[in-house]
Structure 1
Amino acid sequence: MSSERTEVQVRAGVEGDLEALTDIYNHYVRETPITFDTAVFTPEERRPWLLSHPEDGPHRLKVAVDADTQEILGYATSSPYRPKPAYSTSVEVTVYVAPRAGRRGIGTLLYKALFEALADEDLHRAYAGIAQPNEASTRLHERFGFRYVGTYREVGRKFGRYWDVAWYEKEL
């Protein structure tokens, strides 16, 4: 590790992270098709999302922070895949990295911590939908053992065009 690279710690997300997490997510809402949300959120509007990811259980929120500055560099979540009871052993996972923290391995650290935390949960599969194109996300998911299962063609419209979403799954 070079001396320029700061140490990154991964921990459970807490309510005090809400503003920074909202800022990161809003970047992707405004600037990218990575999320299909089209309007930015206030931290108060995002509070139910944060509270739906407790420190234990199958629906987690992991946050990467700069060890020196405590700046939030990104986050990963596992969320319900679908609301019906038979889906309870499946989760949808996602990672968002602060724009200035990209290409530093933050996503890898977050997923490593998330999947370690989920290892003892009653879960069978993890799913990830990746708006196309997104080679970095595809590589990250494949590195963690996800395999491609199909593409929903032109399933979302944002920025005046339609976007495909490729779906990946991982056995847990």
Structure 2
Amino acid sequence: MQDHAEAVEIRPGTGGDLEELTRIYNHYVTGTPITFDLEPFTVDERKAWLDAHPEHGPHRLLVADVDGRALGYATSSPFRPKQAYLTSVETSVYLAPDAGGRGLGTRLYEALFEALAEEDVHRAYAAITVPNEASYRIHERFGFEPRGVFTEVGRKFGRYWDVAWFEKRLQTDGSDTAG
């Protein structure tokens, strides 16, 4: 039985994490339909992605660090590039293949949504390749609600995949109305 009481530090991602974060993401690129990227990335190719997630602001990258090793990360990224979407983010969480079942995804999302509560962000969205029960569970636990399914929207590994969209309301105190 694994010890779940390990010391986990949730912190902003840095350049020193990029190699491990790229390795984690590439696991999902090459071995799963969870992301629709088809080719693995080099560390250099992921630099722009890292730079797009500064320590402060609505677009963040948080890392779960255990004994100096990044075992997972969560991001809030622009939902779409047009300006009217600036108060919406797309969130995701990725764990190293050996890091599941330890509560790291939960810890990452707790920290991410705590940080987003201080930002001008109205909605969070998550795109989940179907089926992915673990992702459904964590998103529903964090208050995401299913909003629809895009059928056969992506092709990977020689077949088409559906994507379920989930939405979470972030501002609930009346500050979410335009003046």
- Which amino acid counterpart does residue 10 of structure 1 have in structure 2? I
Question: Deviation string for 1:84-137 (max 9, x for gaps)?
Answer: 000000000000000000111111000000000111100100000000100000
| Aligned equivalents of 1:38, 1:59: Cα separation in 2 | 24
Unaligned runs of 5+ in 2: 171-179
Match of 1:73 among 67, 71, 74: 71
Whether the 8 Å contact between 2:94 and 2:105 is mirrored in structure 1 is yes
Of residues 110, 113, 121, the one that matches 1:112 is 110
Indicate the residue corresponding to 2:92 in structure 1: 94
Deviation at 1:7, TM superposition (A): 1.5
- TM-score of the pair, normalised by structure 2: 0.92
Q: What is residue 32 of structure 1 aligned with on the other side?
A: 32
Tell me the alpha carbon deviations over residues 115-164 of structure 1, each in whole angstroms, 9 at most, x when there is no partner: 00111100100000000100000000000000000000000000000000
**Could you tell me whether the CA contact under 8 Å between 2:88 and 2:121 is conserved in 1?**
yes
RMSD of aligned alpha carbons: 1.0
| Separation in structure 2 between the aligned mates of residue 63 and residue 147 of structure 1, nearest angstrom | 25
Alignment of 1:14-53 (within 5 A): 14-53=14-53
Which residue of structure 2 aligns with residue 13 of structure 1?
13
- Give SS of 1:56's match: coil
Letter in 1 for 2:45: E
Q: Once the 2 structures are TM-superposed, how far is the Cα of residue 5 of structure 1 from its aligned partner?
A: 3.9
Greater than 2 Å deviation, 4+ residue runs: 2-5
Q: SS state of the match for residue 162, structure 2?
A: strand
For 1:143, the equivalent position in structure 2 comes to 141
Note the C-alpha offset of 1:4: 6.2
Q: Distance in 2 between matches of 1:28 and 1:104?
A: 19
Give the structure 2 partner of residue 170 of structure 1: 168
Kindly provide the CA deviation profile for residues 8-57 of structure 1, in whole angstroms up to 9, marking residues without a partner as x. 11000011100000000000001000000000000000000000000000
What SS does the corresponding residue of 1:11 show, helix, strand or coil? strand
Q: SS in structure 2 opposite 1:54? A: coil
**Counterpart secondary structure, 1:99:** coil
Q: Verify: 1:59 aligned to 2:59, yes or no.
A: yes
Residues 70-90 of structure 1, C-alpha deviations (whole Å, 9 max, x = no match): 111100000000000000000
Q: Which runs of 5+ in 1 are unaligned?
A: none
What number of residue pairs does the alignment pair up? Answer: 169
